[in-house]
Chain A
Amino acid sequence: MGKARKKLVKSKTKAVRKVKKKSKVTKKAKSKLSKATKKTAKMPDNKPVKEIPKKDVSRHSTAEDMANRQREISVAEFFTKNRHLLGFDNPRKALLTTIKEGVDNSLDACEEAGILPDVKVVIAPAKEEDRFRVTIEDNGPGILKKQIPKIFAKLLYGSKFHRLKMSRGQQGIGISAAGMYGQLTTGKPISIISKTSRNTPAHHYELEIDTKRNEPRIIVDETVDWPVQRGTKAQIELEAKFQKGRQSVEEYLEQTAIANPHVLLQFVTPNGQTKTYKRASKELPVQTREIKPHPYGVELGVLIKMLHDTKARTLQSFLHSEFSRVSSQVAKTICEKAKVSERSRPTRIARQEADNLFKAINQTKIMNPRTDCLSPIGEELILTGLKKQIEADFYTSVTRPPAVYRGNPFQIEAGLAYGGSLQAEGLARVLRYANRVPLLYQQSACAMTRSVLNTAWRNYALSQSAGALPSGPLVIIVHMASVWVPFTSESKEAVAHYPEIIKEVRLALQECGRRLAVFIRRRRKAAESQRKKDYIQQYIPHIAIALREMLELSERQETTIVKQLTDVLERSRS
């Protein structure tokens, strides 16, 4: 729902250009994919060659035979076969992924349009068993009628892939993949209603993906009456399994509420219960700038492609205009190091000297990328989020200054909640976020988890077995904000192990840990002192009784002894 909207509203031409550019990429990607598949397809044909003697020549393929079998594979087809790559491995996870993609898109769109998000998620049982109808409705800016089919029924179509900007969505796969999964498992199209303003009518579409061509097929296209100011509502029927507990929809929503206190979330479960996660802050996340790539983060292949595609006439102006932090002077230095003229044509360099240029870039000292492209949650709002969802005795949060991995700026935040209603037994719970999106799967494969494990929590008055999470009534949250979060797979479940990321997470956790230790130690001390006080009061009367018995004192004298002795001990205690 969020994809491609704002840009389109602002300048049509730019958007159109982008779309064109994008389809090129898609083709390239497709041909790559088809190549790869070809290779594997050939394998079974090759094998018999070794085993079968010359006689049976007819079983061998000629180049012509092979050519007949070689054809293009659409991304949609590819992902139909490999849906686990996108997080649709099983019915339970499919439900979560569908909701996650929908909600992420809604939040991105609302924030980009400066609207405080109200998002409603409804899971209703469908007629058939094991099927659910999932509805995600937002109060976002809405989507232009003509864009709806492509956004919801074409894979790799979106506004976020071609820019370096911090957002929840990155690739333009998610929601269309969810629609495709629904179509695949139930045969039902995805249904969309969207409205962009009070005065325009709402459009209702029912769409299918033509998986062969990766193009939308329109089933229903009509104008309907929808009594809201603006917004988008997507409905997908899919084969799914609804479960509570860990890695559930509910957990995802709860964690989303923690990291996004500005969001109002409503959730209707299959048995009709409504859960509301209230808005705790009216502050929208600061809108971030889009940045150009930093030279350090560019790989050789990408560099070559950029050289080909650029409109710049000279190498120097190419470097200066296509990258961030490259001044004309720095561009010149790079050219000198690469031993090429700064006036040479980028396309020529692309063919012959890209390798040298690439090395030269990495040998040149270039300023770190600007960091105003990042929008951390902020220490204050992390606390708000934690307090809203978790009842604890102690909260703390840390936002680290921005840092850079592979030329990509990123920023780490961490928070802790301790004590209160949290379970005292067992291991701490770790909540991981990337660009405010909770990561529920593959905890152990994630760089953030690695940092939590590598932090010496025992220094912070917690117990921790070797190689394990700390134990105690503790929730740890870690958030990575970046223009490009390096996930280990397309399903966006774990962050890759870049040393810079691990280090930043560790530093944030250590700071939180130090504050927690102060709290725990102070509390222990207070408890100890209370315990001593009780202890004194428990036994002093017995000393007085014994003295009364031995010295035949009166009860009043006994009381005096209790008072005096309490005085003496209380004084010595402090």
Chain B
Amino acid sequence: MSKLATQIKDTATSVRTKIQRRSKPTLSFPLRSLSNVKYHPKQGFLQLKGKKKVRTLTVGTVKTFAQTLRMMSQAKTLVEDDEIMTKREAYYVSKNWEDARFDEQPESDTVIDDIEALFQINREQLGFIPEEKGGEVAGKLIVIDRDSDTGKKLRIDCTKFGSGAYSIPISIEHLKFETKAKFVLAIETAGMFQRLVKHNYWRKANCILVSMGGVPTRACRRFIRRLADELKLPVYAFVDCDPYGMFNIYRTLKVGSGNAAHINRYFCVPKATFLGVTPQDIVDYKLPTHPLKEVDIKRANDALKNDPFVHHYKAWQDSIKQLLEMGVRAEQQAFAVHDLNYVIEHYLPEKLAAAKKFLP
């Protein structure tokens, strides 16, 4: 029996023992929120501080308790049978549980996240895989994968997708890499990625382009992390200049999320730095802007107040304050105001010339 299956069994046994002793069984989970994470630049990711949430079986919690245990049982089966199940499939399987079934998928996702945190592992190890797409890659990288039928090595050259791109798979631990590139450029929008691919920017700049498509998925973060660690490449993030780009996308890429702090150690890229767009770029490049929305302002203030990562870097605090003072935001595509390829010909080369000055 695998280690994980044993862990699950132990937890189940402790619940049963409590019941046999006529006391209320409990399950204790690490508290999953920004208030329960700390940031050490040495380790480079947000990690749990150890606050725990003890769920005691009472009248009020009996439904979630039952659902958590049934989902644990499901995970144990998956682990033992070496099977996988998407989160959506897990939600449908619960439909067999009569009264204990989930009504909406977010409910079952939360329970899966709880179990993940309970055992301090990631859900992929439990056999639960996400529906989400991993992100796309183009440029000077060769990915070495295996043919799932024959087990033969497959060399995938990411320069040979033309106007398309290589799609990061959900599970990437088995991949190996070869490259001669100098850096990785992680891009927020698929539109900008397309422009850079179309003009073979990777050839000109000798780099690997990754499209994150918004907040990077776990697989995407893990993929970039391995490129950074194993190929010793610097990683630069190129996102919109707004609080969402800075903290939801960049911060998650670099140090992980507050909600999944128990697995951040694998899913973060501590070496990543922030190429742009910075508030100063808006001034320097005379970018057209939109006023900050109420939700932007709230997010920025929240970051200043609660985000341990922001607390650690004065440069970030200054940038946020500058942005709030300017009261505007700008998108990656805003450079098109000067010329469609202004970003390739001027912005990126100029910024890359001073990569040391990137925001941390």
Which residues of A come within 8 Å of B, CB atoms?
Answer: 532, 535-536, 538-540, 542-543, 545-547, 549-551, 561, 564-565, 567-569, 572-573
Which residues of the other chain, A, contact B100 by a CB distance below 8 angstroms? Answer: 539, 542
Q: Is the CB of B69 within 8 A of A543?
A: yes
Q: Which residue of A539, A550, A567 has the most chain B CB atoms within 10 A of its CB atom?
A: A550
Question: Among the listed A547, A550, A567, A569, which residue makes an inter-chain contact with B59, where contact means beta carbons less than 8 Å apart?
Answer: A569
Q: Is the CB of B9 within 8 A of A568?
A: no
Question: Among the listed A549, A550, A565, which residue makes an inter-chain contact with B19, where contact means beta carbons less than 8 Å apart?
Answer: A565
Q: Is the CB of B16 within 8 A of A569?
A: no
Closest chain A CB from B160 CB (angstroms): 48
Which residues of the other chain, B, contact A564 by a CB distance below 8 angstroms? Answer: 19-20, 22
Q: Is the CB of B22 within 8 A of A547?
A: no
Q: Is the CB of A540 within 8 A of B58?
A: no
Q: Is the CB of B97 within 8 A of A542?
A: yes
Q: Is the CB of A551 within 8 A of B16?
A: yes
Between-chain CB contacts (< 8 Å), 9 pairs: A538-B63, A543-B66, A545-B73, A547-B15, A551-B9, A551-B13, A569-B57, A572-B24, A572-B59
Whether B99 sits at the interface, judged by CB under 8 Å, is yes
Contact with A along B10-38 (1 / 0, CB 8 A): 00110110011011100000000000000
- Bound complex: CA A304 to CA B72 (Å): 96
Which residues of the other chain, A, contact B76 by a CB distance below 8 angstroms? Answer: 549-550
Closest chain B CB from A457 CB (angstroms): 30
Q: Is the CB of A569 within 8 A of B58?
A: yes
Q: Is the CB of B20 within 8 A of A539?
A: no
- Bound complex: CA A324 to CA B119 (Å): 90
Whether B93 sits at the interface, judged by CB under 8 Å, is no
Closest chain B CB from A100 CB (angstroms): 56
Q: Is the CB of A546 within 8 A of B72?
A: yes
Contact with A along B75-111 (1 / 0, CB 8 A): 0110000000000000000000111100000000000
Question: Among the listed B58, B59, B70, which residue makes an inter-chain contact with A546, where contact means beta carbons less than 8 Å apart?
Answer: B70
Closest chain B CB from A535 CB (angstroms): 6
Whether B344 sits at the interface, judged by CB under 8 Å, is no
- Bound complex: CA A426 to CA B59 (Å): 34
Q: Which residue of B23, B72, B97, B100 has the most chain A CB atoms within 10 A of its CB atom?
A: B100
Q: Is the CB of A540 within 8 A of B62?
A: yes
Which residues of the other chain, B, contact A546 by a CB distance below 8 angstroms? Answer: 12, 66, 69-70, 72-73
Q: Which of B220-253 contact A (CB under 8 A)?
A: none
Which residues of the other chain, B, contact A550 by a CB distance below 8 angstroms? Answer: 8-9, 12, 69, 72-73, 76
Whether B193 sits at the interface, judged by CB under 8 Å, is no
Q: Is the CB of B57 within 8 A of A567?
A: no
Closest chain A CB from B2 CB (angstroms): 14
Which residues of the other chain, A, contact B63 by a CB distance below 8 angstroms? Answer: 535, 538-539
Question: Among the listed A542, A549, A567, which residue makes an inter-chain contact with B66, where contact means beta carbons less than 8 Å apart?
Answer: A542
Which residues of the other chain, B, contact A547 by a CB distance below 8 angstroms? Answer: 12, 15-16, 69
Which residues of the other chain, B, contact A532 by a CB distance below 8 angstroms? Answer: 59
Closest chain A CB from B323 CB (angstroms): 46
Which residues of the other chain, B, contact A545 by a CB distance below 8 angstroms? Answer: 70, 73
The main secondary structure of chain B at its interface with chain A is helix
Question: Among the listed A535, A540, A542, A567, which residue makes an inter-chain contact with B70, where contact means beta carbons less than 8 Å apart?
Answer: A542
- Bound complex: CA A186 to CA B13 (Å): 93
Whether B267 sits at the interface, judged by CB under 8 Å, is no
Q: Nearest residue in B to A557 (C-beta to C-beta)?
A: B16
Q: Is the CB of B8 within 8 A of A539?
A: no
Closest chain A CB from B93 CB (angstroms): 13
Whether B201 sits at the interface, judged by CB under 8 Å, is no
Closest chain B CB from A372 CB (angstroms): 58
Q: Nearest residue in B to A552 (C-beta to C-beta)?
A: B9
Which residues of B come within 8 Å of A, CB atoms?
Answer: 8-9, 12-13, 15-16, 19-20, 22-24, 57-59, 62-63, 65-67, 69-70, 72-73, 76-77, 97-100
Q: Which residue of B62, B63, B97, B100 has the most chain A CB atoms within 10 A of its CB atom?
A: B62
Q: Is the CB of B99 within 8 A of A542?
A: yes
Q: Which 4 A-B pairs have the closest CB atoms?
A: A546-B69, A542-B66, A550-B12, A542-B100
Question: Among the listed B8, B13, B20, B62, which residue makes an inter-chain contact with A536, where contact means beta carbons less than 8 Å apart?
Answer: B62
Which residues of the other chain, A, contact B66 by a CB distance below 8 angstroms? Answer: 539-540, 542-543, 546
The main secondary structure of chain A at its interface with chain B is helix
Q: Is the CB of B62 within 8 A of A539?
A: yes
Q: Nearest residue in B to A543 (C-beta to C-beta)?
A: B66
Which residues of the other chain, A, contact B77 by a CB distance below 8 angstroms? Answer: 549
Question: Among the listed B19, B70, B72, which residue makes an inter-chain contact with A568, where contact means beta carbons less than 8 Å apart?
Answer: B19
Q: A549-B76, A551-B9 are in contact. List 5 more A-B contacts (CB 8 A).
A: A535-B59, A535-B62, A539-B62, A568-B57, A569-B62
Which residues of the other chain, A, contact B9 by a CB distance below 8 angstroms? Answer: 550-551
- Bound complex: CA A565 to CA B17 (Å): 11
- Bound complex: CA A546 to CA B15 (Å): 11
- Bound complex: CA A538 to CA B16 (Å): 19
Closest chain A CB from B341 CB (angstroms): 59
- Bound complex: CA A567 to CA B57 (Å): 13
Q: Nearest residue in B to A553 (C-beta to C-beta)?
A: B16
Q: Nearest residue in A to B63 (C-beta to C-beta)?
A: A539
Closest chain A CB from B98 CB (angstroms): 8
- Bound complex: CA A564 to CA B16 (Å): 10
Q: Is the CB of A549 within 8 A of B73?
A: yes
Q: Nearest residue in A to B8 (C-beta to C-beta)?
A: A550
Which residues of the other chain, B, contact A549 by a CB distance below 8 angstroms? Answer: 73, 76-77
Q: Is the CB of A567 within 8 A of B22?
A: yes
- Bound complex: CA A543 to CA B67 (Å): 8
Closest chain A CB from B248 CB (angstroms): 35
Given known contacts A550-B76, A564-B22, A572 and B70 CB-to-CB distance under 8 angstroms: no
Which residues of the other chain, A, contact B70 by a CB distance below 8 angstroms? Answer: 542, 545-546
Which residues of the other chain, A, contact B24 by a CB distance below 8 angstroms? Answer: 568-569, 572
Which residues of the other chain, B, contact A539 by a CB distance below 8 angstroms? Answer: 62-63, 65-66, 99-100
Which residues of the other chain, A, contact B59 by a CB distance below 8 angstroms? Answer: 532, 535-536, 569, 572-573
Given known contacts A542-B97, A551-B9, A561 and B16 CB-to-CB distance under 8 angstroms: yes
- Bound complex: CA A206 to CA B359 (Å): 110
Q: Nearest residue in B to A531 (C-beta to C-beta)?
A: B59
Which residues of the other chain, A, contact B72 by a CB distance below 8 angstroms? Answer: 546, 550
- Bound complex: CA A538 to CA B98 (Å): 10
Closest chain B CB from A539 CB (angstroms): 4
Q: Is the CB of A568 within 8 A of B62?
A: no
Closest chain A CB from B329 CB (angstroms): 44
Q: Which residue of A538, A568, A569 has the most chain B CB atoms within 10 A of its CB atom?
A: A568
Which residues of the other chain, B, contact A567 by a CB distance below 8 angstroms? Answer: 22
Which residues of the other chain, B, contact A538 by a CB distance below 8 angstroms? Answer: 63, 99
- Bound complex: CA A154 to CA B23 (Å): 87
Closest chain A CB from B61 CB (angstroms): 10
Q: Nearest residue in A to B24 (C-beta to C-beta)?
A: A568
Which residues of the other chain, A, contact B8 by a CB distance below 8 angstroms? Answer: 550
Q: Nearest residue in A to B12 (C-beta to C-beta)?
A: A550
Closest chain A CB from B207 CB (angstroms): 49
Q: Is the CB of A572 within 8 A of B99?
A: no
Q: Nearest residue in A to B66 (C-beta to C-beta)?
A: A542
Q: Is the CB of A572 within 8 A of B73?
A: no
Closest chain A CB from B96 CB (angstroms): 11
Q: Is the CB of B23 within 8 A of A568?
A: yes
Closest chain B CB from A322 CB (angstroms): 73
Which residues of the other chain, B, contact A573 by a CB distance below 8 angstroms? Answer: 59
Q: Nearest residue in A to B59 (C-beta to C-beta)?
A: A532
Closest chain B CB from A527 CB (angstroms): 14
- Bound complex: CA A547 to CA B65 (Å): 12
Q: Nearest residue in A to B76 (C-beta to C-beta)?
A: A550
- Bound complex: CA A573 to CA B16 (Å): 20
Closest chain A CB from B5 CB (angstroms): 9
Q: Nearest residue in B to A563 (C-beta to C-beta)?
A: B19
- Bound complex: CA A565 to CA B61 (Å): 13
Which residues of the other chain, A, contact B20 by a CB distance below 8 angstroms? Answer: 564
Closest chain A CB from B274 CB (angstroms): 46
Which residues of the other chain, A, contact B73 by a CB distance below 8 angstroms? Answer: 545-546, 549-550
- Bound complex: CA A546 to CA B67 (Å): 9
Which residues of the other chain, A, contact B57 by a CB distance below 8 angstroms? Answer: 543, 565, 568-569
Which residues of the other chain, A, contact B99 by a CB distance below 8 angstroms? Answer: 538-539, 542
